[in-house]
Amino acid sequence: MWQFLKYVLATILGLLFFSIIGFFILIGIAASSSDDSVEVKPKSVLKLSLSQPIQEIGLDNPLAALGGPFAGGSESTGLNDIRTALANAKIDPNVSGVYLNVENVEAGWATLQEIRDALIDFKKSKKFVYAYGEFMTEKGYYINSIADKIYLNPAGGMEWNGLSAEYEFYKGTLDKLGVKPVIFRVGDYKSAVEPFLRTDMSDASKAQTRSYLNSINDYNLTQVAQSRKVSVAKLKALADSLTIDSPAEALKNGLVTHVGYLDELETAIKKELALEESKKIKYLSLSDYLKAERLVKESESDNRIAVIVGEGSIVSGDGGDDMIGSDKIAAQIKKAREDKRVKAIVLRVNSGGGSSLASDVMWREVKLTRGKKPIIGSMSDVAASGGYYMLMDCDKIVAHPNTITGSIGIFLLLFNAEGFFNDKLGVNFDRVNTNAYSDFPTVTRTLSDFENKKLQKGIDAGYATFTSKAAQGRKMSVEKLRSIASGRVWSGAEAKQNGLIDELGGLEDAIRLAAKSAKLNANDYQVKYYPEKRSVFDNFFKKVSADAEERAVKAQLGNLAPYAKAVQRLNSMQGMQARMESFDIK
């Protein structure tokens, strides 16, 4: 019996050993395949599907190419990768054109404009851009609208009804739970706390949303009108009347060039390439083309422009993939400032804000940099509240017309859960303090008027700090700054008019401005991005850890798992917050 158990144990250990070895072999295969260069054959077509979320710096799944259980995961496409690929394809003699299959793209409007502008630049090469979709959302169509030919599936459809911003409100849920929010804020427009206080938008919130939403919509329509040679007035009328209710109507009104199936689009591409019908089109995916030879050569100069990217909610510490960690970003700014090779810095931000303290830590490093070497702020989809705080002392700030910014304000969110514990759970609390307010602040009793005043005093001081530093950075009086602050959100176009930013443009414009400020010629510098893209191994183990955590939460909470994320988000909002409300413009 003992001999049998030894054999069983040895077999199990052997299988475990070979499983581990096999696992690392797979990782090695994935790593080596990711490094394999790709040969671009003549008459190739770059295919942009953009089916994954788009971030400033993408995340790769190193085992996706192996298929099966390895294919899934939280991948994202890097905006910089898209721009790099299109710039390279523009001068690549073996790339004849671009095929867009962009239907429902997960990105903000400024990111979409960066991609759209890169495609417009690609078209200067006189190479073709064709687009196809079964159903195109307005975001997808915004990119597709620059194409030479746009095919819409005859059985498909197209969204053309204008933009909408929808907010969630939790007051009813809190009332049912017996939880009372305790809010401290400054400004009529600081609406990030409204979901906990109201069941609908305040008049101030509606006014600001209507203003910047119309500003963004007008700009987008102007862009589409120029590409499709249709008037803005007509585009608005089509949206108001819901005329585009079929592919035939999209064709009739000039939004698409063809109603046709994928095979018909491919026939058109083959004709463009002078290919026989029996031949296959040589498509190149974005990930494959990024492994091809780089024809856009970087300068060999030692001079550098450091592009430091911050994306996500602002927190103290190092942060994570979807967070801006103040320690990490501050350290990178300091390192770039002290690096003699770095002649200028571009701070690229895509964030609706977060911790006021963390924002101030990064602001300090910007302040220390200003005057020592040029530092330019570049706004992506959103650079509001804490995201604006980070940039407000830059030498210049550049934003897209459809960037969302502003929201200069501070709030503190607490909860009084005494009723929930007492009435719903039957839990009571008692305490012993050494001093009058040793348990301050607490969620298990009602705060006194004195305590409320103390907290509001801190928020008022935080707002005074935010607005005075913003006024100093923007070189305007505090009174004028506060007249456009109060937590109000603006589009990039509106922010240019009221002085919150300096120039309208994208990341490339910010880089050129940084080079000009540093008195660098066009070919006399390299652009380096920080943080650098993680290695294959780092990405994989991060993914494994995140997936395991998500599965554990789902196993424990079942259908309640999504609510756990909401609780985590609330938990991250500890301390004073410079944050705007979360929403998506559709």
Which residue range(s) make up the domain with 9?
A: 1-32
> What is the rounded CA–CA span in Å between residue 167 and residue 198?
11
Give the least confident one: 6-10, 129-133, 576-580: 6-10
> What is the rounded CA–CA span in Å between residue 232 and residue 226?
9
Is 375 inside any structural domain?
yes
**CB 398, CB 206: distance < 8 Å:** no
**Residue where one domain finishes, among candidates 263, 289, 315:** 289
Q: What is the pLDDT of residue 62?
A: 53
Catalytic: which of 385, 407, 486, 491?
Answer: 385
Catalytic: which of 127, 139, 190, 373?
Answer: 190
- Candidates 139, 135, 130; CA nearest to 54 is 139
Is 333 inside any structural domain?
yes
The CATH number of whichever domain residue 403 belongs to comes to 3.90.226.10
Length of the chain: 586
Is 269 inside any structural domain?
yes
Instruction: Check whether residue 28 and residue 41 sit in a common domain.
Output: no
Q: Where are the beta strands (DSSP E) in 137-187?
A: 149-158, 180-185
Instruction: Check whether residue 485 and residue 391 sit in a common domain.
Output: yes
**CB 95, CB 46: distance < 8 Å:** yes
Q: What is the pLDDT of residue 297?
A: 83
pLDDT in tens, 240-275: 999 999 999 999 999 999 999 999 999 999 999 999
Calculate the CA dihedral of residues 256, 258, 263, 264 and round it to 10 degrees: -150
Q: Greatest CA span in the chain, whole angstroms?
A: 88
Handedness of CA 569, 572, 575, 576 (dihedral sign): negative
Q: First-to-last CA distance in the chain?
A: 68
Instruction: Check whether residue 364 and residue 508 sit in a common domain.
Output: yes
Instruction: Check whether residue 490 and residue 388 sit in a common domain.
Output: yes
Region of 558 on the Ramachandran plot (φ > 0 left; ψ -120 to 50 alpha; else beta): left
pLDDT in tens, 379-396: 999 999 999 999 999 999
Instruction: Check whether residue 471 and residue 574 sit in a common domain.
Output: yes
Instruction: Check whether residue 274 and residue 309 sit in a common domain.
Output: no
Is 122 inside any structural domain?
yes
Instruction: Check whether residue 457 and residue 343 sit in a common domain.
Output: yes
Q: What is the pLDDT of residue 533?
A: 60
Q: Which residue has the higher pLDDT, 236 or 298?
A: 236
The mean pLDDT of 437-454, rounded to a whole number, is 92
190 is catalytic: yes
Instruction: Give me the residue label for tokens 């890097």.
Output: 78
Q: What is the pLDDT of residue 4?
A: 52
Tokens representing 135? 């159903």
Is 68 inside any structural domain?
yes
> What is the rounded CA–CA span in Å between residue 137 and residue 109?
13
Is 204 inside any structural domain?
no
Instruction: Check whether residue 509 and residue 370 sit in a common domain.
Output: yes
pLDDT in tens, 456-500: 999 999 999 999 999 999 999 999 999 999 889 999 999 999 999
- Candidates 204, 178, 96; CA nearest to 193 is 204
Is 418 inside any structural domain?
no
**CB 353, CB 389: distance < 8 Å:** yes
Instruction: Check whether residue 528 and residue 379 sit in a common domain.
Output: yes
Residues 6+ apart with CB under 8 A from 175: none
Instruction: Check whether residue 283 and residue 157 sit in a common domain.
Output: yes
Directed axis angle between helix 232-241 and helix 203-228, to 10°? 120
Instruction: Check whether residue 157 and residue 252 sit in a common domain.
Output: yes
The percentage of residues in the chain with a pLDDT greater than 70, rounded to a whole number, is 82
Residue 109 pLDDT > 90: yes
Most confident range, picked from 138-147, 200-209, 415-424: 138-147
Record the pTM.
0.85
Tokens representing 308? 């430091």
Q: What is the pLDDT of residue 199?
A: 93
Tokens representing 567? 């609780």
Q: pLDDT confidence of 192, banded at 50, 70, 90? A: confident
Instruction: Check whether residue 5 and residue 150 sit in a common domain.
Output: no
> What is the rounded CA–CA span in Å between residue 126 and residue 148?
11
* Domain count within the chain: 3
572 is catalytic: no
Is 495 inside any structural domain?
yes
> Which DSSP helix (H) or strand (E) runs through 513?
helix 507-517
Up-side HSE of residue 213: CA atoms within 13 Å toward CB? 15
